[in-house]
Structure 1
Amino acid sequence: MNNYKKVTEYADTAYNGKANPYYRENIAPPKQRKRHLAKGQCKLGVFPRVKITGICWDNNQHIYDESEVKGSVHDIDKKLNIQAVDLRIALHSLSQNYKELFFLGWIYLHLTILVVLPVYLLIMLGFGGWDAFLDNLDVLIFGGLGVLVSKYLYRLLDKFNLVPLGDYVIFNRRTGMVGIANDERTSYHYLPFEQFNAHHRTVHNERGHPYYGFTLLHYKEDLMYQVADYSSVENALVHWELIKNFMDTSQPLADIPQFERYRLYDPTTAAYDRKHGRPADFWRRVDKKFMKKVSKIAYDVVYNFPVKKADTLHEALQHGYKVPDIVYFPWREADQLSENPLVIKRNWLSRYIVSPLIF
């Protein structure tokens, strides 16, 4: 028997999944918007509030799990003063703030140089032989040292909390509020999740390849959470399911690695887990091979969603679409669990020597 403790209560403002049509029918038009992106997004279609795909296994679950093991997720939470007991989650949003764009560009510059330098030397080796390679070896040495110094400068600024984090939007399940940083990054705007609409979003890279996502735009204010890095509409829908699930207190949290640390503190989820006998800390005790298995099944489920034939899970079921139980109840099919939950180990060698090299 799991010893769950209900250590928090939902506020009266918590979102319970009951969508108010007012916020869908009274979306402020472009002429009432100030920002260019908001002017365009408010005219686009809205993702429905009903259950669409029936799955919350975002394709970033593996990345999140690795980030948790390395401690980087908890680093962000510490800077934003977020604890699991608060039932808050910080999700990265595309930023339009010049400071955040500068630091993002700084990261990509490092990555570009680390790719360009070896390629340049290989070209010298291929066309000029060893002599040309050795003559240009100083480019690699000084270029690498320059990047290393630059990366550690970035890490130093990050350590002293000088890297802006306003591009993270904070979703609060306990209060039903969404926190979005102001333009100056000095405080947050807090508005009810119910007042935001998920508008379609598509962007194209320099080659014309489309990436899909959505803009969670307030029905009246130009405040938003935006993602546009998915290769398919289906994945964008799954991310929307993930956010809705986290905020909807009328249902338990989805059984995914990203939500494991919240389950113990969430009243609805704790009651659900007690009723079904779910093992505590499941995703921190299960074999990683099992996670890959569930991830593969979830991947197939997402890409089999009949997006052209159905708009909701109910309609999809009529087309033979099925979500296997292993996605909803993964712990029922796990062979064995470790007696000791995973302990987050902030390995100094990896975090302060290796990570700065590869970012």
Structure 2
Amino acid sequence: MKKEHSVFDSSQPQHQNRPETRKNRFGRLNASGQKFDYTLTQDDAPKNLMEKLKPSEIKGDDSKFWDEKSMSSSDFINIYQAVYYIYLFSKTAVLVFFPIVFMLSLWGSLFKPFKEGLDIFIDINMMGINYVIIPFGITWGVTLLLFHQFAHIMLRKKYTLSRQTGMVTLYDNDEDVIYSHPFVEFDCRLFSSTNQYGHLSFGIALVHRYNDYSQHITIGEMIGSTHPDDHKRLWNVIQQYMDVSQPLPDLPILEAFRSKDPTTEAHDKEIGRDPKYWRSMSDKDFDQVVAQMAENQKRIPPLGKPINIYAQSPEEIHVV
């Protein structure tokens, strides 16, 4: 089951087919993990996501991974890891290794006659300058320049969720498309894992309902939380973002783009929302608002009422 383009509008019947129940080599088709329902969205978001950008860190509308059209996740290409380790080694050589050599040469020269000790001190440190400071200092500077000026070309796109087209797309290491399907064809599932210390962690992923893909859209990485309710709130945010019948989620990172989305612009005019509500705050005020929001969340269910994505008529949308 696949459509070329299909925006997600929760106010309309989605006409989805019930998933198959056949077995495959992985077990029942995409049955692992706890499935979250599609729901009516609410004005709520996980604290970790709210704090992605504080007001003082927001730079206009130049977000590289999330705007009114689409959101994407990127990872650094393999060469970045090599450059990063070279950077760390060079920095360590200059800031740690050379000072140690300097102190040892100074200490050793103290136990020699003055002229002999001075010659030893100078010879050792000249070697340190020629073979440590100069080559590793240059390497440190070059790698630092690469990070600041060319970090964007070291990024590899992992996936995109497009509000504009309704499509969810996963990419391989060369940014070739692995698969692309309408958002409503994905189930959100909560997965758990235990680390070597026995600590349980959680994450959510979008799993295509009608195919046995081994790779999923790991949206839970956006918040890095270990609490299931935080991931439910993230699912609420993702649904609202993809739902063209709803305004964009009210997040600091998206505020600059609200006027560019017709549904959001109309909503904000209707309620009289300050276009710079978040950006006009001080970081201190922002922290207080987010802290109060987190306190209120203790009394608010993390997800709204379920909706029926298998509805064939408007009357069936809220019959689950």
TM-score (ref. length: structure 2): 0.65
Look up the match of 1:149: 142
| Equivalent of residue 182 in structure 2, options 192, 214, 218 | 192
Q: By how many angstroms is 1:242 displaced? A: 1.2
Question: C-alpha separation between the residues in 1 aligned to 2:191 and 2:87?
Answer: 27
User: Is the 2:55–2:279 Cα contact (8 Å) retained in structure 1?
Assistant: no
Tell me the C-alpha RMSD between the 2 structures: 4.6
In structure 2, the partner of 1:293 is 288
What does 1:257-336 correspond to in 2, within 5 Å?
257-302=252-297, 304=298, 312-313=303-304
Residue of 57, 78, 85 corresponding to 1:102: 78
| TM-aligned CA deviation for residue 52 of structure 1 | 7.8
State the SS of the aligned residue for 2:189: strand
**Would the aligned equivalents of 2:171 and 2:179 in 1 still touch at CA under 8 Å?**
yes
Q: What secondary structure, in the 3-state scheme, does the structure 2 residue paired with 1:190 have?
A: strand
Q: Give distance in 2, aligned partners of 1:115 and 1:213.
A: 35
SS of residue in 2 equivalent to 1:175:
coil
Q: Of the candidates 62, 68, 91, which is equivalent to residue 72 of structure 2?
A: 91
CA distance in 2, matches of 1:24, 1:140: 66
- What is the Cα deviation at residue 88 of structure 1? 1.8
Distance 1:254 1:194 in 2: 18
CA–CA distance in structure 2, aligned partners of residues 52 and 115 of structure 1: 48
Choose the corresponding residue for 2:50, options 56, 61, 81: 61
Count of matched residue pairs? 278
Contact in 2 for aligned 1:45/1:199 (Cα 8 Å): yes
Give the corresponding residue for 1:44. Answer: 33
Residue aligning to 1:31:
25
Could you tell me the percent identity over the aligned residues? Answer: 19
* Partner Cα distance (2:79, 2:42) in 1: 35
Q: Is the 8 A contact 1:213 1:236 kept in 2?
A: yes
Greater length-normalized contact order (CA 8 Å, ≥ 6 residues apart): 2
Which residue of structure 2 lines up, in the alignment, with residue 158 of structure 1? 151
Sort the Cα spacing of 1:199 and 1:57 in 2 relative to 1 into closer, same or farther, 3 A: closer
Question: Which residue matches 2:216?
Answer: 224
Which of these residues, 185, 193, 207, is aligned with residue 197 of structure 2?
207
Task: Classify 1:285/1:106 alpha carbon distance in 2 versus 1 (closer, same or farther; 3 Å).
Answer: farther
Structure whose CA Rg is larger: 2
- What's the TM-score once normalised by structure 1's chain length? 0.59
Residues 262 and 188 of structure 1, relative CA distance in 2, 3 Å threshold: farther
Read off the aligned partner of 2:143 and give its amino acid letter. Answer: S
Unpaired runs of at least 5, structure 1: 1-10, 34-38, 316-359
Pairing 1:128-143 to 2, within 5 Å after superposition? 131=107
Contact 1:15 1:193 in 2 (8 A): yes
TM-aligned CA deviation for residue 191 of structure 1: 1.6
Question: Offset at 1:279?
Answer: 1.9
Distance 1:245 1:194 in 2: 12
Q: How far apart in 1 are the matches of 2:88 and 2:18?
A: 43
Q: Gaps (5+ residues) in structure 2?
A: 109-120, 307-320
Query: Which secondary structure does the structure 2 equivalent of 1:166 belong to?
Result: strand
* Alpha-carbon distance, 1:280 to partner: 2.1
Aligned 8 A contact 2:161 2:167 in 1: yes
Q: 1:250 aligns with which of 226, 233, 245?
A: 245
Secondary structure at the counterpart of residue 51 of structure 2? helix
- The alpha-carbon distance between structure 1 residues 251 and 29, as it changes in their structure 2 partners (threshold 3 A), is farther
Question: Which of 179-188 and 105-114 deviates more?
Answer: 105-114
Query: Structure 1: how far apart are the matches of 2:246 and 2:15?
Result: 20
Alpha-carbon offset, residue 215 of structure 1: 1.1
Deviation, structure 1 residue 164: 3.7
The structural deviation recorded for 1:210 is 3.2
Partner of 1:171: 161
Query: What is the deviation of 1:258?
Result: 2.1
Q: Which amino acid aligns with 1:283?
A: W
Change (3 A) 1:204 1:76: farther
- Given that 2:55 and 2:278 are in contact with CA atoms closer than 8 Å, whether structure 1 keeps it comes out as no
Closer, same or farther: CA 17–277 of 1 in aligned 2, 3 Å: same
Output one character per residue of 1:230-264: Cα deviation in whole Å (capped at 9) or x when no partner: 13212222221111110112222232212212321
Structure 2 counterpart of 1:170, which letter? Answer: T
Offset at residue 209 of structure 1 (A):
3.1
